[in-house]
């Protein structure tokens, strides 16, 4: 069945969630148009993740929360599709806290693409808001697959996929995410050396309790904790103030090329734009979504089959989630101020960074950590000389950037935050090392390291 190509007749239209059209029929909220075409099982795996990306953008999940959604949904589809190739191991059997994955009945035929779509849908539906768009997409996909699958095999495959999705959700439901929704609002310490909300909107701290989320591969949230950041100081000869001065000077002398680089990697899912008294938001994909798109590109470029494609998404998303857990643990322990806070106080009271400062502490750099952790696992899968063109920002910016390998892309993602004026270099350098450590632990946990 793995070599069969399936006809997907899908057209998803844009409207408000749960709205009805003039004929009284329910429409969906997410704009994902899939032209009538021959879709291979590998393409279906990638399309599942692309659909999820668009839902995450629409629902405006924060970067840490988005990484959790990607991880569990990707693991669900991988654990179902891997039965197409017995050389691929179960990831959940080695990761933390999962029950055993249901097994297909030996000698009984299945359509594992059907099972993977169903496992993906069963899991994803539990962690998103916009369920109608997900159901519309997966129902159409499964209906199309049913045209080339016997009813008996189809129903058996649906049952297997649903049971796998429920096992993944069982673990997700116990990772302490629900409990963090009810935790107290973050108490900002009103002292100079601690992080403060930043202009223009002075938003509340994002996910201050994210270190409570149970990691997938790491033993604990602080397993890869970096050295402490530089101590806050207003002394011009201090390492901290030198960092602030470097950020200030660099941001004031940005070339158009550096501005383009910073914008390309911004990946702020909810940028507030201000024009006079008016304010409006711009939605974009998250940093994790950017790396999932890079993963999709690598799979397409190498013509990876459906199992390798699903494996790549699962491995990358595990590295992303654990990277965010590791990062957020240190952010709210260090509570380092952002460049704008120091620069406005000591260098220029009206200075603004090129990029909008995100609402959480500065150290370490989240972009650096999750980009490096993703680069480690992607390099393991596709090699150290995998050159590619990153076109994931085309729909948002119309820009494509080229890279000789994944580490080069990760390094650029990290330094983009310095050019954007929202990070100090120490956070970027320490974050890169921290992310690589996370990525290597993921590989070791899964028995994939050489």
pLDDT in tens, 98-127: 999 999 999 999 999 999 999 999 999 999
Q: Which residue has the tokens 């049913």?
A: 146
Q: Are 264 and 401 within 8 A, CB to CB?
A: yes
Q: Is 256 helix (H, G, I), strand (E, B) or coil?
A: helix
Please list, residue by residue across 276-303, b when 16 or more beta carbons sit within 10 angstroms of its beta carbon and e when fewer do. eeeeeeeebbbbbbbbbbbbbbbbeebe
Q: What pLDDT shows up at residue 11? A: 35
Q: What is the pLDDT of residues 351-389, one digit of tens each?
A: 999 999 999 999 999 999 999 999 999 999 999 999 999
Let me know: does 419 contact 262? Beta carbons within 8 Å. yes
Residues 6+ apart with CB under 8 A from 160: 80, 102, 104, 110, 115, 118, 119
The whole-angstrom distance between residue 271's C-alpha and the CA centroid of its chain comes to 17
How far apart CA 394 and CA 163 sit, in angstroms, is 37
- Coil, strand, or helix at residue 71? helix
DSSP state of 210: G
The SS3 call for residue 187 is coil
Specify the residue for token string 């190739």.
Answer: 85
CA distance 313 to 311: 5
**29 confidence band (pLDDT: 50, 70, 90):** low
Is residue 358 classed exposed, middle or buried when 0-12, 13-18 and 19+ CB atoms within 10 A define those classes? Answer: buried
When the pLDDT of each residue in the chain is averaged and rounded to a whole number, the result is 91
Instruction: Tell me the chain's radius of gyration from C-alpha atoms.
Output: 22
Domains of the chain listed by start with CATH number: 6-178 (1.10.606.20), 190-445 (1.10.606.20)
| pLDDT for 36 beyond 50 | no
Nearest Cα to 369, choosing from 305, 439, 423, 313? 439
Beta bridge partners of 388: 403
Beta-carbon count within 10 A of 233 CB: 15
CA atoms of 391 and 449, how far apart (whole Å)? 29
Residue 103's Cβ-count burial label (10 Å; 0-12, 13-18, 19+) is exposed
pLDDT of residue 25: 41
Separation of alpha carbons 370 and 388, rounded Å: 19
What is the reported pTM?
Answer: 0.92
The per-residue pLDDT for 44 is 97
Q: Is the dihedral of CA 29, 31, 32, 37 positive or negative?
A: positive
100, 154, 265 from 108: Cα distances, Å: 20, 12, 47
Q: How far apart are CA 322 and CA 315, in angstroms?
A: 11
Following DSSP, what letter does each residue of 282-296 receive, concatenated? EE---HHHHHHHHHH
pLDDT confidence of residue 268? 78
**Higher-confidence residue: 317 or 22?**
317
Kindly tell me the number of DSSP H helices and DSSP E strands found in the chain. Answer: 15, 6
Residue 281 is predicted with a pLDDT of 57
Rounded mean pLDDT, 282-297: 92
Rounded CA gap, 317 and 171, in Å? 16
The Cα–Cα gap between 242 and 233 comes to 10
The C-alpha atoms of residue 332 and residue 342 are separated, in whole angstroms, by: 18
CA angle 253, 281, 329 (to 5 degrees): 75
- Among 114-118, 122-126, 280-284, 344-348, name the one with the lowest average pLDDT: 280-284
List the beta bridge partners of residue 38: 7
SS3 179: helix
DSSP annotation string for 152-171: HHHHHHHHHHHHHHHHHHHH
- Alpha-carbon distance values, 186 to 74, 115, 204, 319 (Å): 31, 42, 8, 26
Tell whether the model's pLDDT for residue 270 goes beyond 70.
no
């Amino acid at each position: 069945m793995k070599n069969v190509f399936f006809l997907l007749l899908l057209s998803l239209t844009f409207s408000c969630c749960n709205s009805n059209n003039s004929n009284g029929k329910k429409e969906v909220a997410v704009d994902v148009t899939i032209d009538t075409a021959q879709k291979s099982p590998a393409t279906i795996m990638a399309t599942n993740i692309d659909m999820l990306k668009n839902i995450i953008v629409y629902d405006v999940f924060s970067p840490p929360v988005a990484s959790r959604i990607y991880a569990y949904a990707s693991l669900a589809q991988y654990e179902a599709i891997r039965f197409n190739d017995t050389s691929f191991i179960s990831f959940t059997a080695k990761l933390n806290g999962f029950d055993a994955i249901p097994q297909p009945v030996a000698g009984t035929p299945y359509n594992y693409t059907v099972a993977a779509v169903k496992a993906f849908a069963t899991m994803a539906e539990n962690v998103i808001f916009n369920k109608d768009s997900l159901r519309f997409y997966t129902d159409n996909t499964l209906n199309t697959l049913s045209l080339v699958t016997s009813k008996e095999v189809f129903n058996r495959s649906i049952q297997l996929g649903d049971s796998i999705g429920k096992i993944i959700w069982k673990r997700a439901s116990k990772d302490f995410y629900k409990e963090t929704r009810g935790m107290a609002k973050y108490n900002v310490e009103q002292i100079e050396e601690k992080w403060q909300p930043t202009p223009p909107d002075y938003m509340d701290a994002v996910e201050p309790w994210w270190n409570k989320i149970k990691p997938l591969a790491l033993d604990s949230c602080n397993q890869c904790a970096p050295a402490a950041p530089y101590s806050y100081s207003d002394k011009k000869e201090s390492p901290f103030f030198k960092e602030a001065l470097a950020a200030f000077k660099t941001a004031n002398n940005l070339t158009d090329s550096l501005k383009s680089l910073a914008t390309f990697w911004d990946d702020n899912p909810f940028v507030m734009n201000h024009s006079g008294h008016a304010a409006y938001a711009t939605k974009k994909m998250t940093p994790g979504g950017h790396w999932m798109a890079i993963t999709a590109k690598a799979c397409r470029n190498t013509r990876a089959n459906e199992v390798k494609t699903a494996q790549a998404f699962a491995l990358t998303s595990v590295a992303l989630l654990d990277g965010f857990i590791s990062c957020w643990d240190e952010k709210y322990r260090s509570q380092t101020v952002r460049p704008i806070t120091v620069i406005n106080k000591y260098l220029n009271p009206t200075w603004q960074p090129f990029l909008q400062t995100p609402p959480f502490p500065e150290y370490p750099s989240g972009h650096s950590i999750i980009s490096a952790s993703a680069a480690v696992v992607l390099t393991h899968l596709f090699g150290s000389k995998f050159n590619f063109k990153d076109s994931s920002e085309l729909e948002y910016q119309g820009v494509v950037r080229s890279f000789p390998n994944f580490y080069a892309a990760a390094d650029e993602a990290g330094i983009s935050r310095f050019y954007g004026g929202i990070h100090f270099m120490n956070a970027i350098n320490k974050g890169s090392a921290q992310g690589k450590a996370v990525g290597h632990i993921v590989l070791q946990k899964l028995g994939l390291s050489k």
